[in-house]
Amino acid sequence: MNTDKTTYKKYVKSRAPKSPTLKNSVFAFLIGGTLCTLAELLFHLYITIGISEEITKTLVPVTFIVIAGLMTGIGVFDDIARFAGAGTLVPITGFANAVVASAIDDKSEGFILGVGAKMFTVAGPVIVYGTLSSAVYGVIYWLFGVMK
């Protein structure tokens, strides 16, 4: 086969079916939107039963993390995420799934070298660059404060 690499790669790209972006986006919008609406409802529910707004702001994500973790544990999260895509990946549910799924997988290597060491292999970059960007944002925020 004499085709050069560049031509071959172009040919491969041209014949590969594209991901169904429109369908994926619609599902992500609907499911992601539903999750956010549920979060809003939950927020009002917690306030109604007398929990302070400060604590409720933490309690809502925690509830979602617990639910996503449980659903990962019983093996249904990935079945939903297959259709939901970014709808379950972008909210905090995706983060919870990434950590719990890793923990389940790595259990076989023990609690120290398995779960402990490898739990954040997928979610790790989010924590590292999330913290880093918040630090950068903090510096910018501080600079604006100084300049005022």
Least separation in angstroms between residue 32's CB and another protein is: 13
Buried b (16+ CB within 10 A) or exposed e, 136-148: eeeeeeeeeeeee
Least separation in angstroms between residue 5's CB and another protein is: 4
Least separation in angstroms between residue 98's CB and another protein is: 6
Q: Tokens for 63, please give them.
A: 């509830």
Least separation in angstroms between residue 40's CB and another protein is: 22
SS3 122: coil
Interface residues with another protein (CB under 8 A) are 1, 3, 5-6, 8-9, 11-12, 15-20, 24, 72-73, 75, 77-78, 80-82, 84-85, 88-89, 94, 97-98, 100-102, 104-106, 108, 122
CA dihedral 41, 71, 62, 35 (to 10 degrees): -30
| Measured distance CA(100)–CA(77) in Å, rounded | 11
Q: How far is CA 120 from CA 95, 104, 133, in A?
A: 10, 12, 18
Neighbours of 54 (CB within 10 A): 8
